[in-house]
Amino acid sequence: MKNILLILSFLSIHLLVFGQEKKGIEFFDGTWEEALALAKKDHKIIFVDAYASWCGPCKRMAKNVFTDEEVGKVYNRHFINVKMDMEKGKGPEFAQKYGVSSYPTLFFIDEEAQVVNQVKGARNIEQFIALAKATLNSYSKSTDYAEEYEEGNRDPEFLRAYAYALLMSSEPTLKIANEYLRTQEQLDSEENLDFIFDFATEADSRIFTMMLQYKDLIIQRQSEKTFLKQVEKACDQTIKKAVDYKSESLLEEAKKQMKVANPKYAKEYALLADISYYFLLENYDLVISTTDKYLKKYAKGDAVKAYNHAEFLTNFVKGPKALTIAEVWAKKAYEIDSNLKHGELYLKVLRKNSKHKEADALAPEIEKLKLKSTEKKQRLSTPHSPD
């Protein structure tokens, strides 16, 4: 299917349901020692932004790169992220140990506190993502573990480490993770509860069922919000599999597991799951009718949901009915929150629907919003003092 990765990204359940703001890097707020302990537990690399408060390039990275959604997806998934001012707190000690001589210096440090990779100077978004991927590729131990596994090593600690190496490399994990769990007599130990949580990545898996079985204990360790976020990710992954295999049974499994894990949200999620499934199978009639049903039930008074779905119908769904519904909800989004983004979409839909009179009447409002937006950007970009 054309542009499947773009479409899957657009149809991200988190974005459509919650209308969350795009998130960049989530930085760890504990101590350096706690970050190292977490790295050992999760077998992850620590990314460290070694900066100084007066450093201009550091500020620009913090404002323009660390806040980027795609950067956040890569770094939040694969690293424990730490910001450290080299002139405050533990910063001078870190700077002396790792030889920081310019700002920013971007470090990638393993669970043994050894430097895996480091670069000096700021990077743009594309360079920064490429840096992460290069670091992961050079550090990946999954090939070494695979060779040892083929040679017959089935020691539980080896299997656990192998599973985490696969997870870090975004390779399939369920076979090795399940094999590790079969060696364990006490599944509700703290270490195994964390393992079950980390590897419950697909709703149609044995490990996901285990996560639900130990839900209360896992929430005590992770928080309810974190638990439910993992549930959604796993259900989303099963929906993607449902599309790959054209399997309605996998679609229903994802919806069923959401009902077990989060019954308050299950009905809303089920509609979103259906929209994604029908769309990726190019059944546009069902996409339009299901989206209309969802909007009427869940988007009243919610500008973000109204906008997201109107944009989806406008840009991705074929057929005049899609534009008819898109116009209704683009208008609602603009009425609720008359910002430039909402206004531009509403204007676009009016023109696509050949409503030239309405579009011409709206256009001056949008031009005023554009002017305000430009003036605001100019004010923010004008330096008030030297870096």
Would you call 350 exposed, middle or buried from its count of C-beta atoms within 10 A (0-12, 13-18, 19+)? buried
Query: 119 forms bridges with which residues in the sheet?
Result: 106
Could you read off the pLDDT of 112-167 as tens digits, one per residue?
Answer: 999 999 999 999 999 999 999 889 888 877 888 999 999 999 999 999 989 988 88
Predicted local distance difference test score (pLDDT) of residue 1: 41
- Show the low-confidence residues of the chain (pLDDT under 70): 1-22, 380-387
Nearest alpha carbon to residue 346 among 356, 334, 337, 354: 334
Domain spans in the chain, listed from the N-terminal domain onward: 4-9+19-139
**Who's near 279: CB < 8 A, 6+ residues apart?**
7, 11, 287, 316, 317
Predicted local distance difference test score (pLDDT) of residue 2: 39
**CATH number, span 4-9+19-139:** 3.40.30.10
What is the residue whose two structure tokens read 């997201």? 308
